[in-house]
Amino acid sequence: MDHPLVTISSVSVAYLQGLLDYLARQGLEPSALLAQVQLAPQLLSQRDQRIAASTYLQLLGLGVQVSDDQFLGLHLGEAVRPGYYGVLGYLVMSCATLADALHRQARYAALVGNLGRIDLADEPPRPDTEPLVVHSWWPQHRQQQRQLSEETLAGWLTFGRWVTGLDVAPTEVRFQHAAPADLREYQRIFRCPVLFEQADNALVFPKRLLSTPLGQADAQVRLMLDAYADRLLGEIQQGQTVLDRARLELSRQLPEAGADLQQIAERLALSPRTLQRRLREAGLSFNQLVDQTRQQLVLHYLRDPALDLVEIAFLVGFSEPGSLARAFRRWTGQSPGEYRRQLHDR
């Protein structure tokens, strides 16, 4: 069977910097936070480097605890700056119109973090407007999903206001998670109806705003950054990092030999110690790599109705379906059967 090219979700160091900068302004020491997830402070000088998304989400959760701020995601989004989006931030600023900027933001979102999917879509007309929606989904990231979705939507809105110079409220904001008890921060930041327990996470706004010109438009810079962003995106999609190459070798190895660090290191022409160090630089232990690879492979294989749970357990290196079921409930909060039924109901 061909192994699916499912990359490990990752986040750019530039985006991580935004979280650490915000927490530093709250009086929290970045190096102490990094130490708790086994990341070296020197990593921050490598803004094009990437860390595992699970490590970023662990830091996000840690930030909520140490700052005692249940609205940390909203406040991070509100504090976003172009540099935190890396190449994408400067590319968006160089676009001619908001429409150009949004299409590039959707296309190149993985440069900031490939945590989920982003779409631009029309919605049915409303009495007062032709709405456009920016949708996002994070199907594999239940951990800190509320904080992640609130950070993302508040960040898009803040950045959109910054590049257009327009202080316009959306028509509507939607979140998949349940409403917290206190809604005042949502009203302060979004200034529009905010709906919870919805089918998607979305910003809704009038299509007429798409023609808004951007004050820092520069066609020459945009062409140069488009080419650079295309190259970076291709590298991420082709799995050229050590993290992704290790994951691919692991997915090939799991059915036959289980998870063997020595064998994977040999296939990558690295020593086991070097492979472990390279994984650690991305915020993962070998055991975490195994767990995340299994999770993504299982989510892929469950889409094939011809594969039963015994076969899927074998393909990802579990000795029996019960081990698979226990791991799947830990990953998603539901059984493999429940997840499959939801796929067929969509």
Q: Could you read off the pLDDT of 143-200 as tens digits, one per residue? A: 688 999 999 999 999 999 999 999 989 999 999 999 999 999 999 999 999 999 998 8
Look at residues 54, 203, 198, 61 and name the one whose alpha carbon lies nearest to residue 140: 54
Structure tokens at 58: 């662990």
Which residue would you say has higher pLDDT here, 262 or 128?
262
Torsion of CA 252, 257, 262, 263, to 10 degrees: -40
Q: What is the mean pLDDT of residues 3-29?
A: 84
Supply the DSSP symbol for 201: E
- Looking at residue 289, its pLDDT comes to 87
CB 265 within 8 A of CB 279: no
For the cut 90, the answer to whether the pLDDT of residue 285 exceeds it is: no
- Looking at residue 255, its pLDDT comes to 87
Q: What is the mean pLDDT of residues 223-252?
A: 82
Percentages of the chain per state (helix, strand, coil), in multiples of 5:
60, 10, 30
State how far the Cα of 12 lies from the Cα of 249, in Å rounded to an integer: 23
- Looking at residue 332, its pLDDT comes to 81
Look at residues 144, 52, 160, 155 and name the one whose alpha carbon lies nearest to residue 102: 160
Structure tokens at 232: 């970076």
- Looking at residue 127, its pLDDT comes to 76
The confidence band for 142, taking pLDDT boundaries of 50, 70 and 90, is low
The confidence band for 7, taking pLDDT boundaries of 50, 70 and 90, is low
> Mean pLDDT lowest for which of 127-131, 198-202, 209-213?
127-131
CA–CA–CA angle 104, 108, 113 (5° rounding): 140
- Looking at residue 346, its pLDDT comes to 53
**pTM confidence score:** 0.73
Partners of residue 120 on adjacent β-strands: 134
- Looking at residue 77, its pLDDT comes to 95
For the cut 60, the answer to whether the pLDDT of residue 2 exceeds it is: no
Q: What is the mean pLDDT of residues 75-89?
A: 92
* pLDDT tens-digit readout, 195-210: 999 988 999 998 889 9
For the cut 70, the answer to whether the pLDDT of residue 278 exceeds it is: yes
- Looking at residue 87, its pLDDT comes to 92
- Looking at residue 23, its pLDDT comes to 96
The confidence band for 136, taking pLDDT boundaries of 50, 70 and 90, is low
For the cut 80, the answer to whether the pLDDT of residue 345 exceeds it is: no
The confidence band for 141, taking pLDDT boundaries of 50, 70 and 90, is low
- Looking at residue 46, its pLDDT comes to 80
How many CB atoms neighbour CB 99 within 10 A? Answer: 16
CB 218 within 8 A of CB 194: no
State how far the Cα of 171 lies from the Cα of 331, in Å rounded to an integer: 35
CA distances from 249 to 137, 229, 300, 326 (A): 28, 27, 17, 24
> Mean pLDDT lowest for which of 4-8, 21-25, 320-324?
4-8
- Looking at residue 194, its pLDDT comes to 97
